[in-house]
Structure 1
Amino acid sequence: MVANPAQDVEPTSAGYGDIIRELSRRGLAGGDLFFELALGNPLRAADLFLPVHERMDRVDSWVSLEMTGFDQLRRYNGRQQKTETADRCAMGESGHIDGKHSTRRQNMTSAHGETGNRAGDDRPASCTSDPTTSLPPGSICVEHKTGDTYTISVRGHRLVADQPSAEGGNDDGPTPTELFAASLASCVAFYAGRYLRRHGVGETGLRVEAEFAMADDRPARVSTVRLTVHVPAELDPQRHDALLAVASHCTVHNTLAHPPEIVVRLGSTPPS
């Protein structure tokens, strides 16, 4: 299956025109609109072929999306735009040019909602206690507050991690391990919600419950995470397996299945 709205058709062509107008009505433009449109057919194809994939025991089946050339992205965004503006819009402020082809940075995911630094970008996060200061996407800062309490800065958000009172903490927030399980559950919920939205089903009633257990041996780690996805009643039961397959491949789950390189190092010591 080949679907290339930037190369094969003009934005006003029959079929794509109605979709583009609807996406524009939702407030999407430029790169966001393009990738929503470009991902639509592969995602529908994945849903369509999922029953066959299941009968093949999930072996050697995939639907892929090949990114179009950068010049074609500019064409999609409109020839009348200035090159610099088209460059930024087409790449969603998140890409770079490599020869004649565009390469999406890792902070543009299939769910087109999550962010992160490029692979190999080891710029340190700039910690600041100023709540009005936002960190760049892909940067997180954790600062000691008191006892076992730590403040986590993520872009313009502030979270708190702590330990239960029974473990000597102040219980001012969830533990880092609980945040880990919560990140997986919320990522699954996010993907499930996008699936529902694509199929015209509201997210009201969508809920993900998570339970995790710690390993009995060393090193200290989570041994099991069990997630239960509760979907709205109006979702066609024939789409349950497809939703589960989509949600099971959220970014956090994929990261656990394909562990990233983790580097822990000492930074410079601040002057006393």
Structure 2
Amino acid sequence: MPEVTTTISQIEGSTAARTQIREHELATDRPAEKGGGNQGPMGGELFVASLGGCFMSNLVAAFQARGIEPKGLSATVSGTLNGTPPRFQKMTMAVNGHGIDRNQMEKMVLVAERGCIVANTLKQFMDVDISVG
């Protein structure tokens, strides 16, 4: 079975952590108002972003597989927190594209949603609503 592996290590002398993904590196941290050094996004923010990033790569690939080079694609992703301890209860994503027929966009959004590993995983545990904005 394929695996995805990352390495996360504390950045010495700070509240931040360094995440290594393949040859990419990013910092995570808490904002100053939560006692952090604000050196990067929080893990929960990356969790929300991971849905958008996974989905967007699938959306671009869906267009390209049909010989269409999309322009101006964007997605706004929100995660709704609830409970004690807090956890994400729902994720919503509004997808937009410039100069793309709405029907075509809706079809490509459906294709991308079906291929998105993060969306497929999250849907087992919470509501995930992806729509054309």
Q: TM-score, normalised by structure 2?
A: 0.83
Distance 1:225-1:257 versus aligned 2 partners, 3 A rule: closer
> For residue 89 of structure 2, what is the amino acid of its counterpart?
S
Matched, 1:140 2:6: yes
Q: Tell me, which stretches of 5 or more residues in structure 1 are unaligned?
A: 1-104, 107-116, 118-137, 260-272
- Supply the distance in 1 between the matched residues of 2:88 and 2:31 (Cα, whole angstroms): 17
1:147 is displaced (CA, Å) by 3.3
| Helix, strand or coil at the partner of 2:33 | helix
1:232 alignment partner, one of 90, 98, 104: 98
Q: Does 1:253 align with 2:119?
A: yes
Q: How does 1:62-101 map to 2 (within 5 A)?
A: none
For 1:248, what is the secondary structure of its paired residue? helix
Equivalent residue for 2:21?
154
Q: Which letter maps to 1:232?
A: H
- Give the Cα–Cα distance (whole angstroms) in 2 for the partners of residues 180 and 196 of structure 1: 25
Question: Does residue 187 of structure 1 match 2:54?
Answer: yes
Name the SS of the counterpart of 1:211 in structure 2: strand
Distance of 2:28 and 2:102 partners within structure 1: 39
- Counterpart of 2:129? none
Asked if 1:200 corresponds to 2:95, the answer is: no
Which letter does structure 2 place at the counterpart of 1:185? G
Count of aligned residue pairs for this structure pair: 123
- C-alpha displacement at 1:232, in angstroms? 3.2
Alignment RMSD, CA only? Answer: 1.7
> Which residue number corresponds to residue 209 of structure 1?
76
Q: What one-letter code is carried by the residue in structure 2 that aligns with 1:178? A: E
The letter for the 2-side match of 1:151 is R
The DSSP-based 3-state class of the residue aligned with 1:187 is helix
What are the within-5 Å matches in structure 2 for residues 93-172 of structure 1? 105-106=1-2, 117=3, 138-145=4-11, 146-172=13-39
After superposition, what is the alpha-carbon deviation per residue over 1:177-201, rounded to whole angstroms, capped at 9, x for unaligned? 0000001011111111111112222
Gaps of 5+ in 2: 126-133
Which residue of the other structure, out of 236, 241, 260, is the alignment partner of 2:106? 241
1:232–1:201 distance in 2 versus 1, CA, 3 Å: farther
Write 1 or 2 for the structure with the bigger share of strand.
Answer: 2
Q: Deviations over 1:106-141 (max 9, x none)?
A: 3xxxxxxxxxx2xxxxxxxxxxxxxxxxxxxx2211
Supply the distance in 1 between the matched residues of 2:33 and 2:43 (Cα, whole angstroms). Answer: 16
Report the Cα distance in structure 2 between the residues aligned to 1:165 and 1:222, rounded to whole angstroms: 22
Q: Deviation above 3 Å: which 4+ runs of structure 1?
A: none
- Partners of 1:241 and 1:203 in 2: how far apart? 14
Shift of 1:226: 1.4
By how many angstroms is 1:257 displaced?
A: 2.2
Q: CA deviation at 1:236?
A: 3.4
